[in-house]
Amino acid sequence: MERPLHASARLGIAATFHLLLLWFVYNWLTFGPHYVGHSYFPRHNFLLEGAASATCLVLIFPVFWRGRPAQRAAAAVLSLVPAFLFALVVYYVIGLLFGVLP
């Protein structure tokens, strides 16, 4: 009985997530990667950054299979920032777990 979200609704929700993700990118560009790399759990919310970018990617990926060409193009544009931030978060989590980052 559950209905899946339409492609336009998925793109709208992902676009609103971009407001949060762009704020994270702005902080990363303002303070630099040195600040982000030396931040710890209480001071930097990179886990929230990873969760928001992962949610955005999960919402966007079904549009690639079932969306129209214009929706697929919008999904490709909307997946760039979350993919970058998710890769950055994975890098820092692995670095903190294995002690690679100082």
The tens digit of pLDDT for each residue in 41-94 reads 444 567 788 888 999 999 999 999 888 999 999 999 999 999 988 998 888 788
Q: Which residue has the tokens 């950055």?
A: 88
Q: Is the pTM of this model over 0.85?
A: no
- Of the candidates 85, 18, 66, the one whose C-alpha atom is nearest the C-alpha of residue 93 is 85
User: Is 40 a residue whose pLDDT tops 60?
Assistant: no
Q: How many beta carbons lie within 10 A of that of residue 90, not counting itself?
A: 13
- pLDDT at position 42, please? 44
Q: Is residue 1 part of a domain?
A: no
| DSSP classification of residue 79 | T
* CA distance readout (Å), 52 to 16, 67, 80, 88: 11, 22, 13, 13
Q: Is residue 2 part of a domain?
A: no
Q: How many domains does the chain divide into? A: 1
- The CA distance from 38 to 34, in Å, is 6
Q: Which two tokens stand for residue 83?
A: 């993919």
Q: Is residue 26 part of a domain?
A: yes
- pLDDT at position 76, please? 94
Q: Where are the alpha helices (DSSP H) in 3-79?
A: 7-37, 46-66, 69-78
Mean pLDDT of 1-9: 78
Q: Is residue 66 part of a domain?
A: yes
Domain that holds residue 80: 7-98
